[in-house]
A and B are shown apart, each in its own frame.
Chain A
Amino acid sequence: MSAGPPWRGMRRAGVLGINSRNALYTLRCNPRRLYPLVDDKLATKRLCNAAGIPVPGLLATAHHHFELRRLLAELERYEAFVLKPVRGAMGNGIVVVIGRRGDRFVRAGGREISREGFLYHAAGIISGLYSLAGHSDSAMVEERLEVHAALARLCTDGVPDVRVIVYRGVPVMSMTRLPTRLSGGRANLHQGAIGAGIDLETGRTRHAVLRGRPTAVNPDSGVSVLGVPIPDFDRVLEIAVRATDQTGLGYVGADVVVDARLGPVVLEMNARPGLAIQLANRAGLLHRLAAVDALPARERPLAERVALGREIAAGGAPQAAA
């Protein structure tokens, strides 16, 4: 055992705690008035579209209960789609439809849902059942993404994504989140998804955790999740940083899905990204955030910021040329 209380070791490792994240980073760098840009997925989509950042296509929306029948009618044209609450959190309230069987929809994972059931769920979304503060919400339907085979083979169901923490325009840490049966197909670490930290330098997974404990394989399939190269990782970092640039927020988690057809697309952003990414990377965030703060203040082009992030993540004190 090391000498001293546990917090000293953690401080040395640069572990960011919840209180410091809230007080020193989200409260300080993320002005409240900008939150709707990331909390409202339609706003995020508009923002990204305007900046030419790829996002999943929007198929239909319903803001009121009376629009639900129309929503269902509009979906007749599509085989597969994803129903989401516009202001949902933590992947709650999402229904992924992958096909039809007779009069019913087939959900990802094989379960079926009737049209009535689908409408009831959408009505729940509009009533605010899944929204952040219980306010009434809107339902949106997006095209279903086809996850790149290199990531899709890591998990049996759900949509794996890549989370990038961007601090003041610099990507500082990243992980891929792999849904499991335990997580019910959702890419949330606390619900039981695997988090695999990505080496920013090489773009390969280097460490992974399941429910906070190290793991080398996905227990659903036995497939190794370590040393896996993330397809098109440079592009992932680029659009993550570009998307966060659009928001004006200083401390953001951008979630990117690598689609087989479209390449990396920005799924959503989060103004209060979780801290479990530190476990997935077996590394603390504090030193990296401090290194970004230590950079001389000036405008930097995107490419330089990505390079700086990689340098910081590699542990080198960035010798930023003035």
Chain B
Amino acid sequence: MSRAVLVTGALLIALGLGVFATKTLVYRLPVRAAETRGLWQVELRVTVRGDGRQGSVTALLPGPVEGQVVLDERSTSDRLQFSIRARDDLRVGVWQGRLEGVHEIFYQFRVQSRGVAMPLPEGPVAEPPAAIAKSYGRASHEFPASALEVRDSLDRLALPAAESALDRVRKVFAYVTHEIATAGSAGSDALLTLAQREGNETGKARLLVTMLRAAGVPARLVRGLELRELAPPEERVWCEAWLGSVWIPLSPVEGFFAERPANLVPLGNGGRELVEATGAQAVGYRFRSIQERLRPEEVALLMEPENPLLAAVSLYQLPVGTQSALRALLLFPLGALVVALFRNVVGVPTYGTFMPLLVAFALRGYPLAPGLVLVAFVLAIGVGTRLALEGLRLLMVPRLSLMLCVVVLSVAAFSLVGDALGVREFFAGVLFPIVILTMLVERFTIAIAEEGPRAALVPLGWSLFVAVAIHPVFRNRWAEHLMFTFPELSVVVMGALVWIGGYTGYRISDLLRFRGLAAEGTQG
């Protein structure tokens, strides 16, 4: 290794470690990812189009609900006025102004959710307050509690005496949960759900609320988000029943009773949709979320005005979508370091320098075994297609494109199968890198033709081996936290890469290959 290489590498490493040390020792940023289960960052992005009339967009916002704390709410919106209206435990964000052309609205918050488990009242419970009974106990268009068929069903359930509200709730809950089937394609109307003995999530929730009200228990619908790792949040609907002096959450689909899992964030109750617009031609919205690895007070360090320098270079201030993309991207230097070690220090052959990196990235969202099955599947389909096309004698670029089409179609087919088996969105994150695997197929088949199957399998095996070695790095939360919170560590990786690049010693493969010559040297 030359002096210049040694010094350059050392300078880069010193620079990166210096910044890292300052941030950890002076500003006390945590090196280890905190055990922050239930700490999430959520972003709502609304796109609204108008033709110049006055209008407004309203969205349900997370409220001060038992079991969750909402922090750092922020909103940016072009040309619209933002305000928050709060009434009781319902909070609504309103963006209003003249809607002209396309407006983009971002609303972002952090939420610490630990879920709740309510103590159930023992013995008879007090009558609900008049206000509650008035708002949530009556039949309505949405909850037709006085409909004949609802009364009939209740009669068949043979509900216990009036004083045991808890038992009544239990019985009705059990009935809707177990006797009514859940089907995503079924209706969302309470009576239809009852008649057909099946309904979608909203249908079952409405039926439960309707029957509870008919049984004399105030109840209401709750809308919210289910936050998921490595997948966008899903809109969910569940219910709340007034028992004694509190609202207890219950879901006839998920089956929870008097508790709420930590990954469910309620956004509002009542008839409102999550996002509504008036005076607009079109409105669309999307939620995004990422799981936080820093405690709220640690994030505050990075955002606080007293550390302007730190705040300026902190990636935590970016939109959620950008943040989650960067979290993945900043792992690439680490992965590249692993590739460089394998190629230049160990000396294994792989197809293409970054092929293992891409395969590992493709498998990032999934456990290793199913991921490898997927890669094997794509390779098999691709090689099969390649061999089938051989007889047609097509030119290279159209032939490669044909293989690409087949790979894309088979991924689509596999997604359908996965969906039918209940493994939803199995392929969401894989799609892009899978397509790149087409190139791997081509190189593999050429190698088979040129050098025989055995010689072709060796680099393929090593490519997958290196990908498997990178896989845990890509899935490691601590690594993700480190590289994202301390981007300067990428500079340390660069220093290490300079050193590997200047390493002129033997590779392990050299040692194996030329070991016979070494014996020669020591004898002489």
B-binding residues in A (CB < 8 A): 2-4, 6-15, 17-20, 23-24, 65, 92-93, 116, 120, 123-124, 127-129, 184, 191, 212, 214, 275, 278-279, 282-284
Tell me the chain B residues, 435-475 only, with Cβ under 8 Å from chain A: 446, 450-452, 455
Take A17-B510, A19-B344 as given contacts and tell me if A9 and B518 are in contact as well, using a CB distance cutoff of 8 Å.
Answer: yes
Q: Are A124 and B514 in contact (CB under 8 A)?
A: no
- Taking a contact as CB atoms closer than 8 A, the residue among A2, A20, A129, A191 that contacts B446 in the complex is A129
Take A10-B517, A19-B344, A284-B521 as given contacts and tell me if A127 and B397 are in contact as well, using a CB distance cutoff of 8 Å.
Answer: yes
Chain A residues with CB under 8 A of B502: 23
Q: Are B511 and A7 in contact (CB under 8 A)?
A: yes
Take A17-B505, A19-B507 as given contacts and tell me if A6 and B521 are in contact as well, using a CB distance cutoff of 8 Å.
Answer: no
Take A116-B393, A282-B517, A282-B520 as given contacts and tell me if A23 and B510 are in contact as well, using a CB distance cutoff of 8 Å.
Answer: no
Q: Are A19 and B520 in contact (CB under 8 A)?
A: no
Q: Are B450 and A278 in contact (CB under 8 A)?
A: no
The interface residues of chain B, by DSSP majority, are classed as: helix
Q: Flag whether B396 is at the interface (Cβ < 8 A).
A: yes
A184 to B449, CA, bound (A): 11
Q: Can you list the 7 inter-chain pairs with the closest CB atoms, starting with the nearest?
A: A13-B521, A2-B522, A9-B518, A127-B396, A12-B521, A17-B510, A10-B518
Q: Flag whether B93 is at the interface (Cβ < 8 A).
A: no
A12, A19, A65, A282 — most chain B CB neighbours (10 Å) = A19
A17, A120, A129, A284 — most chain B CB neighbours (10 Å) = A17
A-B contact pairs, 12 of them (CB 8 A): A3-B522, A9-B518, A11-B521, A13-B518, A14-B521, A18-B510, A19-B344, A123-B393, A127-B396, A212-B513, A214-B516, A275-B510
Shortest Cβ distance from B390 into A: residue: A120
Shortest Cβ distance from B503 into A: residue: A19
Q: Flag whether B395 is at the interface (Cβ < 8 A).
A: yes
A6 to B502, CA, bound (A): 21
Chain B interface size, as a band, is 20 to 34
Shortest Cβ distance from A4 into B: residue: B522
Q: Flag whether B24 is at the interface (Cβ < 8 A).
A: no
Q: Are B393 and A7 in contact (CB under 8 A)?
A: no
Q: Are B446 and A9 in contact (CB under 8 A)?
A: no
Q: Are A19 and B393 in contact (CB under 8 A)?
A: no
A-binding residues in B (CB < 8 A): 344, 347, 393, 395-397, 446, 450-452, 455, 501-507, 509-511, 513-524
Q: Are A13 and B520 in contact (CB under 8 A)?
A: yes
Q: Are B522 and A9 in contact (CB under 8 A)?
A: yes
Q: How far is the CB of B472 from chain A (nearest CB, A)?
A: 27
Q: How far is the CB of B444 from chain A (nearest CB, A)?
A: 13
Q: Are A65 and B517 in contact (CB under 8 A)?
A: no
Chain A residues with CB under 8 A of B393: 116, 120, 123
A275 to B514, CA, bound (A): 10
Chain B residues with CB under 8 A of A15: 506, 510, 514, 517-518, 521
B502, B514, B522 — most chain A CB neighbours (10 Å) = B514
A155 to B524, CA, bound (A): 34
Q: Are B455 and A23 in contact (CB under 8 A)?
A: no
Q: Are B395 and A6 in contact (CB under 8 A)?
A: no
Chain B residues with CB under 8 A of A214: 516
